Structure formats: C-alpha cells, structure tokens
Structure 1
C-alpha cells in the first residue's frame, strides 16, 4: 500500500484548524490520571484521598442519569468536557517539553495532554511520554496479558491466571511471531513503514518517561507493591517497552472488541439437542428459528432496504460436522502445575478481572442524525465505545497535533500513538463492535505418526492426506508472593496446540472418530495490520469527507461498525477481513477440515485468504439516521451467534430517534443526548416484553392477591416508562423499586418456565450455552437454575445485550394471535394455548414474589445483600492501587462524544 502524506514541517496551529466552534464535547470516566506513587496509594487506602484528575470526570458522567430530563444546550458542559483543539491560555495547568520538538500542555479542568510537535518524531515521542505519565502500570499489565504472562508479573492470584489463560488461548504467539507481524508491515512500505516509525518514536517517549520516573522515584507505586522495585532502596527495574509489546497489546484489544464468530460448537450442540428432541427435520427448524441468523424483525443499522449478503445460512449445509452428543471436552491448557497453581481459587484478588476476555461484554452505541433532520441543518452525533469501567480506564484522552497528524479523542493505553476514536479538524468518528463472523470452527481428524491407536489425546492431525504433528506453543509461568497478592508461590506451563486450521479449542468425536475442534480467525497473526486505518483517521490529508473516511475504515481489519459526522454528512462502514467461504458452508456450524471446505485462496503459512470486497460490506452515506448498539447491520448480513431477533437493546435507540424525527421533528445535540440517556436508563424487558406479558395475564381475571399486587406494580412501572431511575439525584433508591425487584426476580423464572418444558432439559441447557437467559444491570440476579448462573460480571454497567427477550416476545405474540414475522418453529408457552400459557406466567410471577430482596440481590464484596441500588451500581474495577466511588447505573458508552460541526474546510 502506498500513499502521499506529510512527514516533516511545522505543526499547524490547533485553534486555527478547529472547525467545531466549541460544539464538540466528550467524557471519559473516571479521570485522565491513571498513575499514583506508593505514597499516594497508601494515602488513598488510609484516608480515601486521590491524586489530581484521578476521578474528576466520574461525577459529571454519573450526574447525567438524573440531569438529562432538564438538559439544555448550555447545560451540556455540565456533563461533558470541551473537546476543542488546544487549551486557552487561562486554562493551562502545566507545560512540559521532554524534547525540543514537542510540547505537552495539560488543561486545568481534566489534565488531558495536548501534544504539539514541530516534527513527526517529536509528536509521537510526546504521545508516548504522556501515555506513560497517565497509564504506565496499565500498559505494563496488558503487554504481559497479551503474552500470557500476567501471573509471573503481577502474582499468581486465580483471576490473574484465568486471564492469562484466556489470552493465551486466543493469541498464543512466540516472540518470533510477534516480530513477524512487524516485519510483514515493514515490507509494505508507505503508510505501514511510517506507522512503524511512529510507533518507534512513541516507544522512545514511553521509555524516556520510564527512565525519568525511575530516576526521580515518581513511578507508579504498583511496582513497589508487586516486588518489582524495592520501596526503600529503589533496587529493581521497569523493563523498557519494545515494538513487539505493541503487537501483544493489540492482540488483547482485538480479542476484546474486534472479533466475531467462533460459537460454532455451541450452535452445533443446540442443533444436535434439537434433533434429539424433535427429530432431524423438525429439530433443524427449531434450531434455525432459535438462531435468528437473519431475523426479519431484527432492528438494523441500515434501514433503507440495503442488502449486503454475507455468511448466509444454506438450506443444505455442506461439510458440516456435528460432534457426537456428550463427546466435547474443552482443550487442556495447564500442565506441570506446582504450588499454588494447583488451587482453583486462592481468595487473593487479581490485578484484572479473570473473565475480562472470556465473559460476554456489552459494547458500544451510536446515534447519528443527518443534517436534513437537525435543528440547524448540520448533522448531530452522540456516540462512543463501551470498554467497561476501570480505575484507571483502558482508554485515555489525548490531543495530537503535528505534521500529518491532527486529532483529539481516546486511545487504548499503550497504543495511543494515534487517536483511535475521536475527532479531527472538521469531522468526528466512532465505532461499535460489529462481531460479524470471521472465526470458523474446523473438525480436524486426529491421527498418530507412529501408527498407534488413535484417541482424542493424539497430538497429530490429518492435513491434505498426511498425518502431521500439531505445533505445540508453550508459556512457562512462575510467581512468588507479593505485598499485592498473598497467593503462595507456584508455577505452571500454558500449552496450546495449533494446526493449519487454527488453534485447538476442544476435542471429541464425530461419528465415533476422534477429532480436534480448531478455531480459525482471519485476524490471527494480523492484529497489527489495522494500524494503517487508524493512521489515516488521524491524518487531515487522508480523511476530509465521508468517502475518504470509508476508505480509512476499510483499512481496519477488526470487526467494527464505524460512524462519521462532519458539517455536511453522516456515514457508516462495517470493517473486518470477512473470509470468502466455500459454497454451501454454514459458518454457524463446525465444518470438516478438508480442502473442499477451506476458505477461498487459503494460505495457512500466512493465515491469509480471499476476503469479501469493500463493496460487499454494509455501508451508507446520509441515511436519515443511524443507530447501533451491537445490533444487526443490514438485511442478509447474517449475524454470528444467537440473539439478534425481534427484541434487542438496539430497539431502545431506534424507537427514540424515530420519535424525535416523527412528523418532521428536528434533532439537536440536546435531544439526541436525551434520547441516548433515556435508553441508558431503560429496562429492555419492561419496555419491549412486559406489554406482551401483561396482555396474557390480563386475558382473564387475576385473583391471587400476591400475583395481582405484583402485576399492578409492573403496570404502574410500565406507565411510568419502565426505567430504572433514582427517586431523586443521589437518593440511592429507585422509583418503582418493588416493580423492578419483581422483574429482576421474575425474568429468569419466567424464561425457564416458558421455554424449558418444550425444549426439554438437554436442549434448554445447550441453548443457555449459546445465549444466556438474562443480562440484568446487577449481573448477579439471585434465584435458581442456570438462568442466573451465566450472569458473570456484576457492576459492569452494560446490560440487556444478551438474553432470551426475543424468544419470549415472539412466542407470546404468537400465543396472543398477533402476526409474527420469522416466528419460532414451535410454540412454547403453554404449548401455544393461551390459558395454559397464562398459568405458567402466573405461577412464575407468584414464585418471584416469594423471593426476598436479599435473595434477588444476594450481595457481594461491594454491596450488602438486599441493597437494590448498590447491586446495580457501576464499579470502576481497580487495575492498580487507587479505587473510586460507585455510581448509579447507566447503560451507555464509557467514552462518549457529542458533536455538531458548523463548518468544514
């Protein structure tokens, strides 16, 4: 790839090139400062004090939950930062120049670094220096996570080991393979070579700060607490950062937010269980209807009739290889365990959540309205990524101004040599995770190279007619006790086996023959490739309108929905390296590992293939509006996994934007922000399924006193909007608290009561493995059975992404006699009989009323049992020694922009 761009020359004046006119805002809690010395950590633990700018964005962010109904144009700045370029002279808090060719200015309000370089090298050096000032410890954690080496660096707590294992399972790279990604990029020349030069300058800045902080003894105190540096003598080291660290960091980001697919085994187990329950033909019909791969009722980002066929479900799948029931065993990863490695749980907290990479995470959202439908004729956007809540954040804010670079926004710590989500001179951009299917599961026949009997333990496989050994990838980890982690000493070896068809994730049998199930991801060995697209988004000569934005988004290989707004246009593009599959292959099922079913032009040595061209990716310019909350992109663009049906949390956004524009209505920054926040406080179950439930229950008189009281509470809550609002700002109590408690208790019981009798135990259990039943705000709903077992991330904010809302909605509407497009293949509630269905609903509602508040909200390390508001609260999970206050629940992006550009270059 080649391109023309400026690499030398003076940086332009930031203010002169800012076309937003003060109408660009953003927010990123808890605060910009993510570093604390040992003394500051001790003071925090003793007295609750925090270093400056550690949590100063948390209050405004949290306050929007109560403040949005009365929001005004002037009041936006009470809840968001001014995201203008530059810093007014009276707002400068500090100015530093780690080199003569770069200046870092920090503002008084937030402490965000505004980096201006007179050379490109100086600009990137300053970016690295500022990143280390704000996120050095987090950067160090994640370069170790990306290598599967967290326990040896930060202690052997169970959570640390769990996290490094899931990271190693997704991207088990040797050092040579990390370097290979860099070498491949270097060979492309042009923008790729410039990107590596930028990254090298950035690392020089990081390492420059590391040396200065170590010599000056103002480095993060976590190095003392974990034994890397002696707090008395200062003996110890902070290892310098290198380019391969950035690839390791990128692999973590890709695994968290930029991949899709891989659920083929779970889908196959649902299909097998359905066939066992109903017979092959009827079972396959049930499986397809539960999968909802291209549901006609699903909310879509593109709603103007556009079609973008991809990953379609064939009527007669070719090469599908379903595992024998009960044969699948997850691949063993841990070998040679000693000491505390043999303990499943130690009680010691990890430095990061153990399920950070393995648990399902809710993601980002976007609302954009074209200029034809806004108050002043210029587009409006309210958008941002949902990256979770941590202290400090995984993201950091920055402004970069230098030759060929002009942007302000957010970037992942350690990868902030470019702004990844933010604004340029006259445009802004953001993304939501798309998750389209770029990961396939192959069923690989096992064999032995010595002719011995083949079992599922064999470590060789058939490749194009020959028996070849798997690659064995190892990572040896050992840890000692530290002051931050009381786990006893231990060690183990992480092992992953790799074939030409990808990484071995499980073993089992197909038709009685031993096989390995492998995961082949198109971005594996290519995590660094997206650097080019991000470089273009930061370059004002590369992106200057909607079309050039879409071109930059094409150069990002992660699966994201990209959104753009300037003073004239809004635009959308879905990125990702979408492999071209063999004809007839169903990407939602495991496929036989044979040449006939490989990706087109598949080259296993480089893990490359033929990919769908840009024209086949969902894209659009100036649709009346766009919404995205990780929902379906477009008609015929088949979604990966389960859960994109008639009720999706994307409906919460879509309904509100439609209401804004109804009868010629015009959107503004204020009204679009209100729409976002209204959706952020909505209970999806109440808004889109409770009306169906009430109709069924009210189809005959309700005579049971407890059920009637609960029903009346639910009806009153629905009449009040079905949201989860505090009675007043800071009250720590919900309006309609009893109804909310009833719904939280009822939903898991309801879903099980409606669906399990028809599904049967085996299919019910298989379906919960493919799609969890509930994702409540608390993430820890009490009750019985598997309904609550897979809500594994409490206090995470994001909610209602994963659940059986669509199944119940479609089934209940069918029972009521309503038309249902894309119905379930069979009735479930009361086997389709209204009176019998009503009995199920009444019985489960009565059961819900018997649960105490303490049972519904069982409590944890952050909240007492029975504290409803606290159970829902957002906790900024500490990644280091500083902790932050809990805040009221909101279901909104972590980093968020509110933009409306009045002019353009």
Structure 2
C-alpha cells in the first residue's frame, strides 16, 4: 500500500512554520490515531518471494541508518519535532548500526545480523509487510519486508521494473530528491527558503557545475548517442523510472499523503490542497548526478592553493631549497604510504615531470576569489548569510567531498570457508533522511540488491548481484586542472587560441519569501559564474604582471550522465559473470572511485575515472597557461572530451591476498590529489589489522567485521604517532609531576588499544577519558610548536590551508566540521611521525627536507613536547570541548557524537562516534553460477 496518513485536525491547520513549543493533548490523540492507521492494516497476502538465483547462502548482510523511510507527512513531522516520535522505518536501522561500537568484540558469524540486515534476495512469506501493484500496473510488484521496510521490486517487463523503482524511490525519498534537483540547479533557496544552510548548499555546487537547461539535456543526448544499444536502454530505463516517480507524485497529491515539508515550505496548502509538486524531468536526474559526482567522484583541483604554499616555501628558503621543502610536505609518491595494490605493480600517473612546462604561478599577493554572489537584498539577518553560508555548507555536506568510505576484502585462500569475504561500503555522511536508499530490483536484465542515491535509483549503485557483490570508496585522483587564461579587452574577455573571446555569463537568481521557520526574512540574490572554454572562473590574479583568470576544468564536466552505463552493466547478471567483467563495467564510470568486487571464487579491484592525458611537461599540481601546448591531448572544448589514460594504466588487480581502502594511495607512482598520503594514514588502521588476520588464516565474516569496527574506534594519532612521541619523552626522566601524570595516562591508553570507546553500551563516557582529553588538547599545540618556528608563520599557515593539522572526531575546524563521524583522514600525522623519527635517529624513507622538532636536537625536541604536554594537561574538558548547539561544554562523548543532519522535517537522536561507512555490506558467497 502507498505510505499514507489520513488528514487529521492538525493537517487541516494552515501552517508555514515549525511546530511551536506546545501542543494540545487532544490534538495529539487525534494525530496518533491517524498515524497508526496505515501501518495497522493487515498485509496483503503474498507468496514467498525468496529468489532462487541467490548464491549467497544467507551470508550477505547490509545496514543503512537511520532507516528506509525518508518521507513523512505533516502530522508525522509535527509529532517528531514535539515529542521525538518516529514514523515507521524512519529510524529502525540506527540502533543496530550504533550498537556495533560496543558489541563487536563478542561478534560471531551467527550474530552478525544483530547489527546488520539479512541482505538475501526476496522476502520470506512470513516477513511480508505489504504488497503493492504501483499505479495498478500488472507488470511490477513492490513487496516491503516487516523488519526494515525495504522495497523489493519485481517486474515482468523492463519498463514495469523501472517504473516500480521510480515509484518506490518517491515513496521513500520524494522530498530529498526534490531538494537535490534544486541544489543541482542552484535554486534551493527559492524552493526551500533563505536559511544560510540552504544558500550554502546551492553556492557550494553551483560554481562547479553552472549548467544551463541546454547543458543538462546535451549530456543525456551525448550519453545515449555514444553507447549504442546500452545507451538506448538507459534512456528507456530513465523514462520509465521518471514515470514511476511522477505516478507517485500524482497519487500522493490526490490522496494528500505527500511529504509534509511541502506544506512547511509553502508549496502546498494543508486546507485546500492548493499548490503543486512539480513532476520530475529527465534533466532533473542530471542535476542530481552533478551534485553526487561533485561530492564523491571529482578528485583533484587545488592548484592555486598549491602554488601559494610553494611560493611561501620559496620565499622562506629560496627557490631551490623551498621547492624541496614543499615537495617533502606534498608527499606526492611517499614510499612509506599504505597502498591498496601492494603487490609491487606500478601505475604511473600525475608524477612530477623532470622539466615542468607552462606553469602559471601567480604574483605574490595578487590572488582573489571570483565573487559568486551578487545583488543581495533582505534584512540584516540575510545580509550576513554570504559570510556564513560557506561554513554552513562545509558543515553539512563539505565533509563528503573529502572522501570517507572504506573496504576490507580477503581472498578465499585465507578464509575459513575458502570463499572470499568482503566488508565494505561508502561513507556518504549522516543525514535525515539519508542520501542513499536501499532496494532490491529483479526484472529482465536486472538482478541486484543494495544502495542507490535517491533520485538515481534506476539501478543499484553499490550492492550485490546473484553471485557477486561490489562497492566503492572515493579515490581522489586528479581529473581537475587549473588554467590561467590571459585577459584581453576587459575582465570578461580572454585569449582563446590567440583570439580575444567573450566569457559566457551564467546566472541563477534566487528569491525567498518571509518565513518563521528559520528566522530569515524575505530576500534575494544572484549567483553568477563566468564560463570559458577552459571551464568556470574561480580566481583572478596576475602572472608576471599580466591579468589572468584561473579556471577549473574537470574531465567529468558536461559528462555527469556518462556513468549510467557502468551501473547498468553492474546490475546485469548476463554481463557480470566474473572479476574481468566487473572491471569492464567499472571502466564505464567516469567519476573517481576505487571499486571492489567479491564472488565465491575471486576478488578484484579497479580504479575508475576519466584521467586526462596531459601535455608533455605539464605538472598537474600547479596552474598552467591556457594555450594549446598545455591543453589535454586531443581536447575538444565543444563537448569537453580528450584523450584519457587506458584501463591498463588505472590501478587494478585480481585475487590479491587482500585489499584495503580508506581513501588512501592506490598504488606505487599513482599520484593522487589529496595531501596527506604519507607514512601515517587512516588506511594503516585497516591494513595493520587485515594483514594480521591474513597471516593467521581462517578469516571469517565476524573477524573481518571486528577488524573494521576496531579500526573505526581507534585514534590514529594515539595508535601510530603517540608511541614515538612517548619515546622522545622517555629519553630522559620526567621530573615534572603534571607531565609525568599525563604521560602515565597516555601510555596506559596506548597499552589498552588507543580506542575512543565507551566504558559500556549507553554509558556515554569513554574508558580513557582523561588521556583522550589530553591528546585532543595536545595535538594542535605540539604541531604548532614543532613546525611553526622552522617553517615561519607564512609557510606554516599556507601548508595548513593545504592540509589541516587535525581531524579528531570532536574537531569543529577540520574538513568534516563537527558531529560528522568520519575522522583522521587529513592531518599532520605523517609529518610529525617522520620528523620525530628523524630526531630519534631512525631511518625514514621519504623524509621531510628538514628536521623541525627542536631543530633536530633530541633534548630540545623533548622540551617542546614536555612544555606543550603540560599546557594541554592543564586544559579543562570545557576548554577542550567548548560546546555547541548540540552539546554542553565539557561533554566529551557528545562532542564526538554523530548527528544526523536534517534535510527534511524528521530529526533523529545522537549516536556514539565510530569511524565507518554509512552503508555497509558483509558478504561471503558460497556458490557461483
């Protein structure tokens, strides 16, 4: 049955605001009666829908918090905000997900599904909650299970199958899909109101993908035209999917059970039902894809910031020595970096050229960011939005851009059952509702279960097929370059291949009405992006006195729809029959991902993305002149196409003993864009644990889950860097009582495993609370005291812009913001490790160009560590964890806690910190076709 709640007393109240701080008891009773009715009906009788073509043998599991149901009526939203009550299946996966942090130690294969869902195909007859023929169609059935409410879509025709996928997606995520099609067009504030967070979201993406409607349609046409029969099938699938979405919009509108956010934002009237929910168009899906691609699959960029830090290094040390110093901090190809492909195979890409050509480094002090926002109107409340919106966007979704997913895959040679085992999944952040949704799709040419991004779920994007499973992590290799286009005539004309050419102005006007929902008054503003053949303008500067605009060109620009073919292949059981087929499918995905595969016999890995072939001598780390000699090879600006490196040049592997990935370096000589791939990286936490399991042999699903969960509670600094720091301190007796006490606590924590773990389930208190507090306070103090004197303030500051010093769970200043879960990917752990090892006289491969701690003196370095440790130990919990809108000052557990950030009207409670994927699979196939 459709998700439906009959209209009640409060449904009929005209409202454009959030629930006030009180609600009459009589009204609550009426609401509760209305809310219960659709879920208390008897399920429609259905046969056992368990699929026969399931080779997992009951050993496939998955989890996706907070829950499958991401739609809520107005009444449900008001009840949630007043009393915390949850719609059915809105939060039922959150408890098991959170519980793994305290329950993993006693895990067995038999208890895996205490913390995960059974991800077998089909639904046993006694577990069927509802059976529905969407829009009365006879060629598709949607069955939902009792435990999670996940839709199991079975079609007898391809059209019906995809129609059902669209209908189920709208049932579960209609409001979120609507939000993101507006984000992708830069129109969120006009749609959802002028809150700073809304402005920040649209501004975050619009500069990267300032598409016109013609651009969106052209991407669809190109993807279809260049992919033959598969392209035509993809177009047909998308159209059927859209028909399903729109059929649900019509049904929910006439039945008045559409998401309540449409009333709260003024799009629907709760009394008259006036207003419309716009039907989805095919271009909406490209707009959605541009947001997801920008968040998770667009590695590279940052060349201007790289140039600024290089110039700062050269100003400090001179050109030759400064360049060496910069390169040592950049760690392009660090020999101590943990690798995904660790069998010695090399995949050169993005390596430093011997004689760089075409560099266009800015003149010192000349760089300015190109304005995005113009013509702002509104009250004082909105006047400050421009300055706050960037921070809001960073807090809400910016963390996802950095990459947070992980994978652990072990070959059958090392498992107890002789079959490969995988524990893997993407970390897409914590939102309410979740960006991803679960589904099973069975129909002609499609057989899969797993997760897909809402609005793009015509195929399963990460999940399992009949006898194989696949997943991805963000890889981050560089597919984005910065070009310096020389200006001519004025600031909006540039030289393109010798001709003075006008920039194209692309604008999006946003206006919003007064609302009491967020305290924002009426207002408007315009986002304006200047586009060139070399991409959108991001900065202005001078180079050698010449005025230039720095533009950003990525290979996936104007190609957001291309990856649909790869996902179509991954869902096709007639295409994927082994690891090589999986790799061929992944080759069709133009976004930057690491893809992992497991069946009953084999494992595999492939790094996807359209890696442009750069002109000889071009250093991808820095801006280059926008001239033919430095363009991508065979680059055609009309469609932004070029030569790309062949599949053989992408890191790939079949049946390696094991694979791990936590957004670390892929392979030797494969230079990835993010800074921080050095001797200490978050990936080491997985590699160390899986390597031990493989060496011991007999790996089971439970043991691999335990390795993931244990790494997910580890403090990287404490596990991999703190022992060296203590070694320096131990080089002489510690006579200061404050320092001695702190050292004792830190040492005990390291001995206990260096985890940020609760004393017991639900305790909301860490077992080593004092030691954790001390290290949280100490790390930024010691890094600054260790490096700033040698680097100087300007260079130290410049490098911190490339790589933040710290990303502890409670850090509100790191890339993830606060309460975002993912931690310890980006920080100065490798720099401290290499520097301190050099001070200790140990061998360091790929050392820093200089020794910084105490200028290389062990005694002086020890003094720095002791002095900063004493200062850190003296800081109170309230000083270390100052509190925010979520937590009181001094509440350490709360400061680390994960918050599901609201993208709709339903809120969820906090859960304890754990550093793991959002959606996660545990798979071990027992047979093969």
User: TM-score scaled by structure 2?
Assistant: 0.93
* Alignment RMSD: 1.6
SS in 1 for 2:218: helix
User: In the alignment, does 2:71 pair up with 1:35?
Assistant: yes
Equivalent position of 2:126 in the other structure = 90
Cα 1:353/1:264, change in 2 over 3 Å = closer
Aligned to 1:625: 658
Note closer, same or farther for the CA distance 1:412–1:426 as it changes in structure 2 (3 Å cut): same
CA 1:81/1:798 → structure 2, altered by over 3 Å: closer, same or farther?
Answer: same
> After superposition, where does 1:50-65 map in structure 2 within 5 Å?
50-65=86-101
Closer, same or farther: CA 177–198 of 1 in aligned 2, 3 Å: same
C-alpha separation in 2, matches of 1:91 and 1:777: 39
Distance 1:355 1:659 in 2: 36
Farther off after superposition, 38-47 or 619-628: 38-47
CA distance in 1, matches of 2:403, 2:587: 24
1:178 corresponding residue in structure 2:
216
User: Contact 2:358 / 2:618 at 8 angstroms: preserved in 1?
Assistant: yes
- Equivalent residue number for residue 160 of structure 1: 198
Q: Cα offset for 1:172?
A: 0.3
Equivalent residues in 2 for 1:723-738 (5 A)? Answer: 723-738=755-770
Q: Note the alpha carbon deviations across 1:17-62, whole angstroms, 9 max, x for none.
A: 1110110000000000001100011111222111100000000000
CA contact (8 A) 1:444 1:461 kept: yes
8 Å contact from structure 1 (residues 157, 348) kept in 2:
no
Deviations 1:438-461 (A, max 9, x none): 00011111111xxxxx5xxx1111
Work out whether residues 608 and 650 of structure 2, in 8 Å CA contact, stay in contact via their aligned partners in 1. yes
Deviation of 1:510 after TM superposition, in Å, equals 1.1
Residue in 2 that maps onto 1:894? 918
Classify the secondary structure of the residue corresponding to 2:52: helix
1:276 matched to 2:315? The reply is yes
SS where residue 459 of structure 1 aligns? strand
CA-CA distance at 1:679 after TM superposition: 0.2
Q: How does 1:103-122 map to 2 (within 5 A)?
A: 103-122=141-160
Q: 1:552 aligns with which of 585, 591, 613?
A: 585
Take 1:722 and 1:379, find their aligned partners in 2: how far apart are those partners? 30
Question: Structure 1 residues 542 and 13, CA, compared in 2 at 3 Å: closer, same or farther?
Answer: farther
Q: How does 1:169-248 map to 2 (within 5 A)?
A: 169-188=207-226, 189-248=228-287
2:726 corresponds in structure 1 to 694
For residues 641 and 847 of structure 2, what CA distance do their matches in structure 1 show? 38
User: Which digits, 9 at most, give the CA deviation of each residue in 1:709-732, with x for residues without a partner?
Assistant: 111110000000000110111100
Give, in angstroms, the shift of residue 347 of structure 1. Answer: 12
Q: Does 1:883 align with 2:923?
A: no
Partner of 1:595: 628
The answer to whether the 8 A contact 1:361-1:798 is kept is: no
CA–CA distance in structure 2, aligned partners of residues 586 and 757 of structure 1: 30
Shift of 1:187: 1.9
In structure 1, what is the Cα distance between the partners aligned to 2:362 and 2:202?
Answer: 28
Pairing 1:389–2:407 present = no
Q: Does 1:540 align with 2:573?
A: yes
Is residue 645 of structure 1 aligned with residue 678 of structure 2? yes
CA apart distance, 1:159 = 1.4
Alignment correspondent of 1:6: none
Q: Does 1:578 align with 2:611?
A: yes
Match of 1:451 in 2: none
Report the secondary structure of 1:563's partner residue. strand
Shift of 1:492: 1.0
Q: Distance in 2 between matches of 1:669 and 1:117?
A: 32
Q: Does 1:826 align with 2:859?
A: no
SS at match of 2:556: coil
1:653-687 deviation digits (Å, cap 9, x = unpaired): 0000011122x422110110000000000000000
- Counterpart of 1:343 (choices 383, 394, 397) is 383
- Confirm or deny: 8 A CA contact 1:157 1:346 kept in the other structure: no
Gap change, CA 1:306 and 1:381, over 3 Å in 2? same
Question: How big is each residue's C-alpha offset from its partner over 1:452-507, in whole Å with a ceiling of 9 and x where there is no partner?
Answer: xx5xxx11111111111111111111111235333111111110011111110001
Deviations 1:41-95 (A, max 9, x none): 1111222111100000000000000000100111101000000000000000000
Task: Tell me, yes or no, if the aligned pair for 2:200 and 2:391 is still in contact at 8 Å.
Answer: no
Partner of 2:32: none
Residues 681 and 724, structure 1, Cα contact 8 Å, conserved in 2: yes
Cα displacement string for residues 175-215 of structure 1 (whole angstroms, at most 9, x for unaligned residues): 11101111112323311111111011001000000010011
Contact in 1 for aligned 2:484/2:623 (Cα 8 Å): yes
Could you say if the C-alpha distance between residues 150 and 855 of structure 1 is closer, same or farther in structure 2, counting changes exceeding 3 Å? same
2:402 touches 2:815 (CA, 8 Å); kept in 1? no
Counterpart for residue 891 of structure 2? 867
Offset at residue 314 of structure 1 (A): 1.6
- Take 1:139 and 1:133, find their aligned partners in 2: how far apart are those partners? 11
The 3 A distance-change label for structure 1 pair 720 and 521 is same
In structure 2, how many angstroms separate the alpha carbons of the residues matched to 1:335 and 1:732?
46
1:424 aligned residue: 465
SS at match of 1:16: coil
Q: What is the TM-score with the length of structure 1 in the denominator?
A: 0.95
Assess, with a 3 A threshold, how the Cα gap between structure 1 residues 349 and 514 changes in structure 2: closer, same or farther.
closer
**Aligned-partner Cα distance in 2 for 1:185–1:733:** 52
For 2:459 and 2:303, how far apart are their aligned partners in 1?
35
Q: Are the structure 2 counterparts of residues 580 and 357 from structure 1 closer, same or farther at C-alpha, using a change threshold of 3 Å?
A: farther
CA distance in 1, matches of 2:279, 2:579: 40
Cα distance in 2 for residues equivalent to 1:338 and 1:845? 49
1:499 pairs with 511, 532, 553, which one? Answer: 532
The yes-or-no answer on 1:661 pairing with 2:702 is no
1:404 equivalent among 445, 466, 469? 445
Quote the Cα distance in structure 1 between the aligned partners of 2:350 and 2:830: 22
Cα distance, 1:308–1:219 mapped onto 2, change above 3 Å = same
Aligned to 2:103: 67
Ranges in structure 1 where 5+ consecutive residues have no aligned partner: 1-11, 449-453, 781-788
Pick the aligned partner of 1:460 from 490, 493, 500.
Answer: 493
SS in 2 for 1:170: coil
In the other structure, the counterpart of 2:713 is: 681
Size of the aligned set, in residue pairs, is: 878
Provide Cα deviations, 1:243-271, integer angstroms capped at 9, x if missing partner: 00000000000000001110111111111
Instruction: Kindly report which structure 2 residues correspond to 1:501-520, keeping only aligned pairs within 5 A, or say none.
Output: 501-520=534-553
Q: How do 1:730-749 residues align onto structure 2 when only pairs under 5 Å count?
A: 730-749=762-781
Question: Counterpart of 2:455 in 1: which secondary structure?
Answer: coil
SS in 2 for 1:496: strand
TM-aligned CA distance change 1:347 to 1:880, over 3 Å: farther
Output aligned runs, 1:119-158, within 5 Å: 119-158=157-196
Change (3 A) 1:346 1:225: farther
> Matches of residues 596-611 of structure 1 in structure 2 within 5 Å?
596-611=629-644
Q: 1:280 and 1:352 mapped to 2: Cα distance?
A: 38
Match of 2:847, SS?
Answer: coil
Deviation, structure 1 residue 779: 2.3
Contact 2:562 2:589 in 1 (8 A): yes
> Could you tell me which residue of structure 1 aligns to residue 22 of structure 2?
none
| Alpha-carbon distance between aligned partners in 2 of 1:222 and 1:741, rounded to the nearest angstrom | 41
Alpha-carbon distance, 1:349 to partner: 10
> In structure 2, what is the Cα distance between the partners aligned to 1:348 and 1:153?
20
Give the SS at the match of 2:376. Answer: strand
| CA distance 1:487–1:588, shift in 2 (3 Å) | same
In structure 2, distance between residues paired with 1:710 and 1:45? 43
Q: 1:267 aligns with which of 306, 310, 327?
A: 306
Matched, 1:816 2:840: yes
- Give 1:326 deviation, angstroms: 1.6
Show the counterpart of 2:15.
Answer: none
- State the secondary structure of the residue aligned to 1:518: strand
